[in-house]
Amino acid sequence: MNKILYLSTLLVTIIFYGCATSGPGINNIKAELPNSPVSSEIKEDQIMEEDSTVAQIKEEVAENNNQAESEITDDMISPLIEKKETIVATGYAVVSVQNHDTASQQRLLAIRASKLEAYRSLVEQVYGQYLDASTTIADMVVMSDTFRSKVEGVIYGARVVSINPVGDDTYETTLSLEMSVVKDLRKLYLQYLARRNS
């Protein structure tokens, strides 16, 4: 950006210099000076150098603009999820509903349940979720409306970010998974589906 600003400033300076040398005051000074072939050759050389400098500046500005446009296009094309380095999932579980007599064992079971819920959320983000919906209408009245969801997949390489109590009776577990692992998991899953369907 600084290079473009510098080149633009130089181009404007050269244009103003060219306008200043073609004004009426300069013509009067030129009339008073003796015409010599050496000075005219020097002026022609200077003009040629200025023209080549202006052409070079224009080329560099055009190259920088093209490069900036290509970078913007690449950023706009790449999907948003690919820009993330990790995906994060959170699971929750209630302590008091766990099936055990002692409070400490209930806490451990709640932690385990919240971790499994976080894994389920990771599977949803990596592979998606299968939904099956059924609606029955009779006499313009909805008789039944059912939804079924199914999540299936394998997760490895997940990292436990935190396990925290939330309030008095809930545990929260947060997991993260690197995008490089996500890409590998998706490739393996597609290969598995291809083998199963063939």
pLDDT at 80 over 80: no
Percent of all residues in the chain with a pLDDT value above 70, rounded to a whole number: 60
pLDDT at 77 over 50: no
Phi-psi region of 187 (alpha: psi -120 to 50; beta: other; left: phi over 0): alpha
pLDDT in tens, 150-167: 888 889 889 999 999 998
User: Cα(152)–Cα(55) distance, rounded to whole angstroms?
Assistant: 62
- Contact indicator for 22, 43 with CB cutoff of 8 Å: no
DSSP string, 97-137: TSS-SSHHHHHHHHHHHHHHHHHHHHHHHHH--EEEEEEEE
- Contact indicator for 62, 70 with CB cutoff of 8 Å: no
pTM for this model (two decimals): 0.53
> For residue 164, what are the β-bridge partners?
172
